[in-house]
Each structure stands twice: as structure tokens, then as C-alpha cells.
A and B are shown apart, each in its own frame.
Chain A
Amino acid sequence: MLRLEGITKTYAKSAVPAVKSLDLHVRRGEIFGFIGPNGAGKTTTIKMLCGILRPDDGRIEIGGVDMAKDPIAAKRNFCYVPDVHDTYDRLTGQEYLDFVADVYGVPTKERRERAAKYLEMFEIADAAGERINTYSHGMKQKLLIAAALLPAPPLWVLDEPMTGLDPKSSALLKDEMRAHTAAGNTVFFSTHVLEVAEKLCDRIGIIRNGSLVAVGTLEELRGGKDESLESLFLELTEDDYA
């Protein structure tokens, strides 16, 4: 579903690459957790795979479509929840959902059904007619998630999706992620909450200093040892916390 081949990115004012020759393949039907210390290159990688940043080198393929050759077709295959909430705050929640649905070409019947479902699920239906600049932090996050899920693309790319969610919404989102992958789709998400990654992910990738230092199922990462993901993570990223 998602294939990154040798992607590299160096920012304009830096001599050190933020991401170096990163290779990754995320399959259909799996929840992939992307973890790493602050500044390791998680968000840069996500922004590249979403087409926000252009890699200096390498190739990104989403649903079999090359991002460089046909970015629009590639982007139809995924939705993205960013880690910041500065959305179009003069629109109402409903207008924002409608805008996203228009961009993805969601037909009227489906958009109404799905909008109603997600607004009710995240308990923001009562505020959907209000402007986004009156929403709380958590409400904005719920709206961004609802907007991302509404087009129902095969790949979900979620950057720190649980941040700001109340426990009930967080549990509901996890259920949605499982249901989405059970239907043969894919979820790629970054998190700092290792317990969530440990319980939810089929496979986990750990990035450090722009390079992927470990990829696999939890069992594969443990290598037969009886270690928690937390101790494994600290071990692999030891220098960053020294």
C-alpha cells in the first residue's frame, strides 16, 4: 500500500539530512506504528509521504501510484491528520467536512451518512454548525479526524492522532483503525505513546536521526527477549537520551 524507497531530505539551512535513504514498505491490512525521539524525522517523513515536502532523493508510492509522477492520484489513496490544529477556523465544522468531501469527490449521500456518523461518534454534532475558532483543542482534533475519515481512502496517515482526545474518543478511534485494516485497508500513524503502539500495531518502525533503525512486529523487534516496547525503544535510541 505504501512504499518508500531511499527517500532523503535535507532542509535548506541544514547540512545534516533530516531523513536519510529511508526504505519502508507498509502492507495492506496492517496498522503500522511509526515511533522515534523528538527531531528524529517522523514528521518530515510523514510530510514527504503526504506530498507536503518534496524528497531530495528517493521514490514514494501509494496504492501503486508514484507520488512524483501523479501526486493527485496518489493523494486520493490516503487521508492525513496533522499534528497541529490550525485549521480553517472561519469555517464551521460542517463546512469544513463539506469542503474535504468536495476535494475527495465524495457523493452527497455518502458524505451526509459518514459526516453524521463521525460527528455523532466523536460527540461534536452539536457544535458542527459553529465556527471552528470557537472549538476547544480536543474538538478541533476530533473534527480533523472526522474530516480525514470521511472520504474513506484505503490509507490513513495519522500524525499523533490521540493527542487531545478524551479516553472514549481515543478508544473509538482505535476501534475504527482496527475495523479499517480488517477491511483490507492500511493505517500509518506516529505516536509517542508506546503503550498504544504496543497494543494496536501489527508492525512498528523506529526512526532515529533520520534513519530507520528497526522495523517489524513486536515479536521480531524483541528478538525473543521478554522486553517491553519502552525498554526496546530506549535501548535503540539510547544516545538521544544520554
Chain B
Amino acid sequence: MRDFRIVFSVLLRQRLRTMFQTKAKSGGGRIAVTVLMIFAFAVLEAMWSAACFGVLQGLAASGRAALGLFGVFLASMVMTLFFSIASVIGTLFSANDAELLAALPLRGGAVFFARFMFVYFGELAISLFIALPAFVCYMIVAGGGALSALASVIVLLLLPALPLAVATVLALLLMRSAVFMRHRETFMTVMGVLLGITLSLGGNLIGQMMGRMGLDEITSVMSGAGDVLAGASRTFPPAAWAAEAIAADGGAASALLHGLLYLALCAAALALTGIVGSRTYARSVSASRETAKRGGRKARLSAKSMTAKNPVLACMRRERRGLLRSPTYAMNCLLGAVIFPLMFLLVPFITKMSAGEELPPELAEVGTLRLFAVLLDGVPAQYVFAVALGIMLFATFANIAASTAISREGEGLERLKAMPLRMSTLCYGKLIVSAAANAATVLLTAAVLTVLLPAYWWAMLAAAFAASVAGIGTAALGMLVDAVRPKLVWQNEAEAVKQNANGFFGMLLNLLIGLLVGGAGALAAVFWGMLPGVLAAALTAAAGSAAGVWGLGRAADKAMI
């Protein structure tokens, strides 16, 4: 406990001072950024709260408000499961102070717990962002006493515990086995990406199935006709237990029972994480710091790679290698590019499963992947184009590869500044990688949508073209934010990407391009036809991208030195 306290307090101090660092001589810029951040968060939270209120009010009208809570808890847990793996690996294994702490007489378990707590609090903040408004709305529409409030405090504080414990144990075991590999980082990246895809798609599928399977049973339970465990326990009990602990629809005894069950499960999961962490963490960290042996791989100086290149291409290659070779960066910046399009493949499966017996016989006969092709048969192509364009543009927003590109350089950016290299050149090299990642997401999304709607392949192709062009602009705008206010001081790679507000700001700015391109393309397509829609979207995207690239170059050369 003493070791944990020492390590935790020093890490906390370091983190807080890094968060509030500034190089500005006046406090004006800092205050402006803080106000902007609060405003942006407030807007998003208000929008989310309004949505929660509407849904919960609707559910409360039929006495099913607790179902809303269940859905929000479930969504929060699935999100934590998916997004926390990269944070866990980054915080536990890519910390700058790993060697320093390893050399001190501290228990490995204490260092592990101290670092784990940082991941926990980070995930808790995200969970509260999602779940707290839902809980407040629930209390307004459904009411609730002191016991509900007390239960909610426990439930909300423990919301990330289960998924994070699963993600951490998997990451620890992955790291422990990676130690035996020669190319351990490549192994970690590939395994991490596969794990992320599996967890994300699996979690999504289970969540969607539960939405259907639990609905009837949970509804009847919430209206007092049965036992909450009877329905939801078969699929994913913890979220249902948490919801029942707060809603107490089965009475105070039921709420207490389910609250205790939830508490016990969380405690067991955290204990298991602690045991695995205490036993494997120190060894894994020390093995990951092994140095190269003499007689390792010789350089191949005559190889094709050692040839003169344009500095932009040199920066591009360096950026690509850095992104792909760091498990933390690859999972945070590139995983979404693969997962997002794959999600659409699940939609027909889920639709078919959700519809169940209510599916008309003629549709029941249709192959799952052909479901939408039959359902949307005869819909004008321009509408399909407009929706596909919106989906593809959204895919480019979520990528934080661009909006954290400069921050990922860390303090090593100084070395680049000493070279005869314009910062705009560096940014353009990085931009190629980010824009390529955006284009890959767009093309993969287009391919998946074409599989689902083969008759509209040309609408998908047109939307992919416009969205790929817009993807250059969204990447440029995201990077511009990071060029102007990079986060260069960090202790581990997760801080540079996931815990970097620039990713959030980048998304907000990208909404502008999305509204411009999507709006112009969709309106022109719907009112004047397909070709004008494609032209409007492509031209707006090209203009936005040109402006973004120009602005990025200017900002980089002015602000980064």
C-alpha cells in the first residue's frame, strides 16, 4: 500500500502538471482554450442529455424507464471494452518512466496498480460522460429515492470496472506472451488490432442481440411481472443488475440483491486483474526493455530503402512506420479505420435477428447479405448516394491519426526543428499518411456498402470519391489543431493520443467540412439529381481540402517554431 501511494502520488502530480502546462507568456490563450473546451463539452453533453431525456420520457410513459438505463450502461461497458485496450497497453507498457520505476525498490504490483488507476479514472470520465446524464434524466422522469441515489453512486463509479478488467487481463496476457517474440511490437500491434476487432464486433453483436432478447422479458420484469435476472441474465447480466439496483422495480430487496451481485462481480474482476497484474507485470515490463544483442540484424545499405527521396516522402515513411510499429498508436489511430466499415456488415444480421418471426415470409427467404438490396429495391440512387456520403464522411471524422500527429512527436520534435526541414514539409508528410488512412476507411466502407447494396455500386463509388477528397481536408484540419497547440510533454503514448483533447477539437472542426460537403452533395443530389450531387460534393470537398492543406502549411511554419 505504501509503495502504491508513493507511485500513485508522483504519477498524479506529474499528470496534473502536464495537463496544465503552458508555454504562453500570457494567460489569455490558455483561458481561451479552456473556455472553448468547456463550451464544446457542454454542447455535446447537452445534446446527449436531450436525447437521453427524450428516450427515457418515452420509455417512462409505458413504465419501462429502467430499460433506458440498462441500454446506457450496456453501451458504456461495450465502449470501455473496445477503447480501453490501447490505453492499457500504452499506459502500462509504453511509459517513459518504466526503467526509472523498475530500478527502484518498489513492488511490481504496486506500480501496476498505480498505473491501472490512471487508466481506470480515464475510462471512468468517459463512462460518466455517457451514463451520468442518463441517470439524471432517469431520476427526473421516473423519480427515485435516497436508496436509488446511493446505488447509482456505486454503480456509476464501478461502471468501467468489468470491461476494463477484461481488457487489462487480456492485455497483460498478450504482453506476457509477446515477450517471447522477436518482433514483439509487431506481434502486439497485430494481436491488439485483432483483439480490438473481435471485442468490438462481438460486444456490438451481443449488445444488439440483448436489445432484442432482453426487451420483452426486461419490460415485463420492469412492470413487475417477473424477475429481471430471468431475462437479461442469460445474455449480459451485469448491466441489467446495475439497472435494477437503481430502478428497484422488483422492490427494495431485489435492488439490494442485484446491487450486491454487481458489486461482487466487479470486486472479483478487479481482484483477478490484480492477481494477474502482480504476477506478470514486472517481468513483462523488464523483458520489453531488453536491448539489442550484438550480431543482430545488419543494415542493408544497398537495399532499395536507402535511396534519396523527397523530404515530404521521407517524413511520410517515418510517420507510417511510427504509427504501425507502436501498438498504442496503431490501435488508437488505425483500428477504427477497419472496425467502422466492418460494423455495417453486422447490420443485416442484426436486423434479421431482431425482426425474428415478424419478418415477412418473402424476406425470410432472402440471404442475409441481400436483405437490404431487397428492402431498398427501387429507392432513387441519389438518396442512397446522400446517405452513403454522410456515412463515409463520418468515418473520416473519427480518425485521430491527424489530430494527434504532432503531439506524438513528443519532446523529440526539437530535434526536427534543428534540421533544415520546414514544419510544413513535416506536416505534409504526415498528412499523406492520415489522408491515406481516411481514404482506406472510406473505400472499405464503400466496399462493404456495395456488398450490401450491389445495385447501387456507382452511387457508392461516387460517394467514396467525394469522401476521399474530403478526407484530405478533414485530416488537414485535424492536424492544424495539433500544429497550433501540440501536447508534446507526456509520460506514455496513450497520453499523446487518447488522452489528448486535440482529437476532440479536430472532430469538431471536421464537422464543418462534413456539413459543407455532405450538405452540398446531399441537397444537390436530392433536388437536381445524381450527377449534380456528385459534382457539388466533389467540388466542395476539393475546395475545403485545398483550403485545409494551405492553412495547415501556413500554421505549421508560423506556429511550430
Chain A residues in contact with chain B, CB under 8 A?
Answer: 12, 47, 50-52, 54, 71-76, 80, 82, 84, 86-88, 90-95, 97-108, 111-112, 115-116, 119, 125-131, 134-136, 139, 157
Contacts and interface: CB of A to CB of B under 8 A. Distances in A.
A103 B305 contact: no
B321 A103 contact: no
B318 interface: yes
Interface string B217-240: 000000000000000000000000
Contacts of A80: 415, 418-419
B326 A50 contact: no
A86 B409 CA distance: 10
B13 interface: no
B322 A91 contact: yes
29 contacts: A12-B22, A12-B25, A51-B561, A52-B417, A52-B418, A72-B422, A82-B414, A82-B418, A88-B318, A91-B322, A92-B297, A94-B300, A94-B305, A95-B317, A95-B321, A97-B306, A102-B309, A102-B310, A102-B311, A102-B313, A103-B314, A103-B419, A108-B306, A108-B307, A112-B302, A129-B296, A129-B297, A130-B297, A136-B291
Contacts of A134: 290-292, 296
Interface of B: 22-25, 96, 185, 290-292, 294-302, 305-311, 313-315, 317-318, 321-322, 325-326, 410-412, 414-415, 417-422, 561
A186 to B, nearest CB: 16
B306 A54 contact: no
A47 B411 CA distance: 13
Contact of A76 (B294, B302, B307, B420): B420
Which of A84, A102, A126: most chain B Cβ within 10 A? A102
Given A94-B299, A129-B297, A129-B300, A47 B414 contact: yes
Contacts of B313: 102
B297 A86 contact: no
In the A-B complex, the 5 residue pairs with the closest CB atoms: A129-B297, A128-B299, A102-B314, A75-B420, A134-B292
A136 B293 CA distance: 9
B96 to A, nearest CB: 8
A76 B422 CA distance: 12
Given A52-B418, A90-B325, A98-B306, A119 B25 contact: no
A90 B326 contact: yes
Contacts of B321: 90-91, 95
B418 A50 contact: yes
Contacts of A101: 308
Contacts of B422: 72
Given A88-B412, A90-B321, A128 B298 contact: yes
B529 to A, nearest CB: 48
A75 B306 contact: no
Contacts, number: 139
Contacts of B420: 72-76, 103-104
Contact of A126 (B185, B290, B296, B561): B296
B323 to A, nearest CB: 9
Contacts of A87: 412, 415
B168 to A, nearest CB: 23
Contacts of A127: 292, 294, 296-297
Contacts of B318: 88, 91, 95, 99
B300 A126 contact: no
Nearest to A90: B325
Contacts of B302: 112
Contacts of A128: 297-299
Given A12-B25, A100-B419, A135 B298 contact: no
Given A52-B418, A87-B412, A129-B296, A115 B306 contact: yes
Nearest to A46: B418
Nearest to A137: B291
B299 A93 contact: yes
Contact of B305 (A75, A98, A105, A130): A98
A101 B295 CA distance: 25
Given A108-B306, A125-B298, A129-B296, A86 B417 contact: no
B282 to A, nearest CB: 19
A130 to B, nearest CB: 4
Nearest to B322: A90
Contacts of A76: 420
Given A80-B419, A128-B299, A130-B292, 10 more contacts: A51-B418, A72-B422, A75-B419, A75-B420, A86-B96, A87-B412, A94-B299, A100-B419, A103-B420, A135-B291
A103 B421 contact: yes
Contact of A50 (B290, B298, B301, B417): B417
B103 to A, nearest CB: 13
B482 to A, nearest CB: 18
B314 A88 contact: no
A84 B25 CA distance: 26
Contacts of A111: 306, 308
A86 B411 contact: yes
A94 B421 contact: no
A72 B305 contact: no
Contact of B301 (A12, A102, A106, A116): A116
B108 to A, nearest CB: 21
Contacts of A75: 418-421
Contacts of B296: 126-127, 129-130, 134
Contacts of A125: 298-299
Contacts of B322: 88, 90-91
Contacts of A139: 291-292
A51 B314 contact: no
Which of A106, A116, A119, A129: most chain B Cβ within 10 A? A129
